[in-house]
């Protein structure tokens, strides 16, 4: 097992990564607590019993609640149901909420934990690759509104992240590959050596080779932990984690939640951000092509038209204006300078955005 520390002083915590890792280590030695395990309808039947057993063995009183699987679950209605479940289970300020599942469950249950009784503790037990390398670490929690992704939320750090790599065995292929998109992101924004390794190990990673996966998940968690420790509440450098997300979130919003997997939309967004970076920051064309080739090799989309027709630019532009990183309706981008190095907060003029979008959509659909 490998442990990565998220160094946030009194809010610091360990990420434990390995085969068979169970949640609850951070509660060791505590008297019996009430624990609400939140999972979705796919993950609960697979891993709910094991999670419950692990917590009961530590002496805690466990209630399970199951939400529907999918992005639509990050909603006010489902959040209300979680509050009701927490109240019915008799949770108090010393209780803990455990998010067992992908990023949807993590964001929803984490936000319930951030707000129920003005904040109770929570544990992240991620079961999708995307949640393991990204959403379970760093304390961003929240839900969507029809107007935009993650528009309601809070920073609320978990007390522990327990990553059981064995759970990836049941993750559907398309979800696994969507998680690889966020893995690629870390190479582009922070670590050119990681990107080289991803290229070299592309086939082993596609085949979910345990050794390759353990090393890569651990490295991604290390990078995320380092960035979050520098800038917990995204007043600066943490914004680099949004590389590819400005267009990605807009695609998810404009096409309606449930059409794009988050990682797929991020893959398209990264390809678009790379194109913008070539045009505006002298990012080498060859490096852009390496990024696009790796995404394609893993069967990830790189064109906004990948789900049928590409959304109208006007709809995407509107959605970008509502992005949390926008200022006065002006979208902000993370752009790459070279592999492993990006700049954030780049305001890009509307005409340049539209030109790059049209050109990139045409080029990506032609190939």
> Which residues are near ligand GLY by CB under 6 A?
134, 138, 140, 238, 241-242
- Which one of 234, 252, 264, 275 is the catalytic residue? 234
What's the residue count for the chain?
367
Nearer to ligand NAD, 157 or 167 (CB): 167
| Residue owning tokens 């990673």 | 205
Interacting residue with ligand NAD among 34, 64, 121, 140 (CB under 6 A): 140
CA nearest 98: which of 22, 23, 13?
A: 23
The end-to-end CA distance of the chain, in Å, is: 42
Tokens matching residue 193: 């050596």
Which residues are registered as beta bridge partners of 101?
126
CA distance 112 to 98: 11
In whole angstroms, the minimum distance from the beta carbon of 63 to ligand GLY comes to 28
* 33 touches, from ligand NAD, ligand GLY, none (C-beta below 5 to 8 Å by class): none
3-state secondary structure of 94: coil
8 Å CB contact between 22 and 50: yes
Minimum separation from the CB atom of position 42 to ligand GLY (A): 22
Positions in 235-294 near ligand NAD (CB under 6 A): 262-263
For ligand NAD, which residue of 134, 191, 232, 255 counts as binding (CB under 6 A)? Answer: 134
**For this structure, is 224 an active site residue?**
yes
Build a one-symbol-per-residue string for 48-87: x at contacts with ligand NAD by CB under 6 A, - elsewhere. Answer: ---------------------xxx--x-------------
Cα within 13 Å of Cα(73), Cβ side: 24
Instruction: Map residue 236 onto helix, strand or coil.
Output: coil
Asked if residue 3 lies in contact with residue 149, where contact means CB atoms within 8 angstroms, the answer is no
For position 43 contacting ligand NAD by CB under 6 A, the verdict is yes
Sign of the CA dihedral running 199, 201, 205, 211: negative
Whether 30 is catalytic: no
Q: Which does 238 bind (CB under 5 to 8 A by kind): ligand NAD, ligand GLY, none?
A: ligand GLY
Return residues touching ligand NAD (CB under 6 A).
Answer: 40, 42-43, 46, 69-71, 74, 101-105, 107, 127-128, 130-131, 134-135, 138, 140, 149-150, 167, 170-172, 175, 178, 262-263
């Amino acid at each position: 097992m490998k442990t990565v520390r998220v160094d946030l002083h009194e809010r610091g915590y360990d990420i434990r990564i390995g085969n068979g890792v169970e949640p609850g280590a951070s509660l060791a030695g505590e008297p019996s607590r009430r624990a609400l395990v939140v999972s979705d309808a796919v993950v609960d039947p697979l891993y709910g019993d094991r999670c419950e057993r692990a917590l009961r063995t530590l002496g805690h009183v466990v209630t399970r609640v199951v939400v529907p699987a999918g992005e639509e679950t990050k909603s006010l209605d489902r959040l209300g149901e979680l509050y009701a479940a927490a109240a019915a289970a008799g949770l108090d300020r010393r209780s803990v909420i455990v998010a067992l599942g992908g990023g949807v469950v993590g964001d929803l249950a984490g936000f319930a934990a951030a707000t129920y009784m003005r904040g109770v503790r929570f544990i992240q037990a991620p079961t999708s690759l995307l949640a393991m390398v990204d959403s379970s670490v760093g304390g961003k929690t929240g839900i969507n509104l029809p107007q935009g992704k993650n528009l309601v939320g809070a920073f609320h750090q978990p007390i522990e992240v327990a990553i059981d790599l064995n759970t990836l065995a049941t993750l559907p292929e398309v979800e696994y590959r969507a998680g690889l998109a966020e893995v690629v992101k870390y190479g582009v924004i922070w670590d050119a050596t990681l990107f080289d390794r991803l290229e070299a190990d592309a086939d082993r990673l596609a085949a979910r080779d345990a050794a390759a996966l353990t090393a890569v998940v651990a490295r991604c968690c290390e990078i995320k932990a380092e960035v979050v420790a520098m800038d917990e509440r995204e007043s600066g450098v943490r914004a680099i984690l949004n590389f590819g997300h400005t267009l990605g979130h807009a695609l998810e919003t404009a096409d309606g939640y449930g059409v794009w997997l988050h990682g797929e939309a991020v893959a398209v967004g990264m390809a678009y951000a790379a194109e913008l970076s070539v045009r505006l920051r002298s990012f080498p064309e060859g490096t852009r092509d390496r990024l696009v080739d790796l995404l394609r090799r893993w069967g990830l989309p790189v064109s906004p038209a990948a789900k049928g027709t590409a959304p109208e630019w006007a709809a995407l532009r509107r959605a970008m204006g509502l992005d949390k990183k926008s200022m006065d309706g002006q979208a902000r981008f993370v752009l790459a300078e070279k592999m492993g190095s990006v700049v954030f907060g780049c305001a890009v003029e509307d005409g340049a955005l539209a030109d790059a979008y049209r050109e990139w959509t045409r080029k990506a659909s032609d190939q």
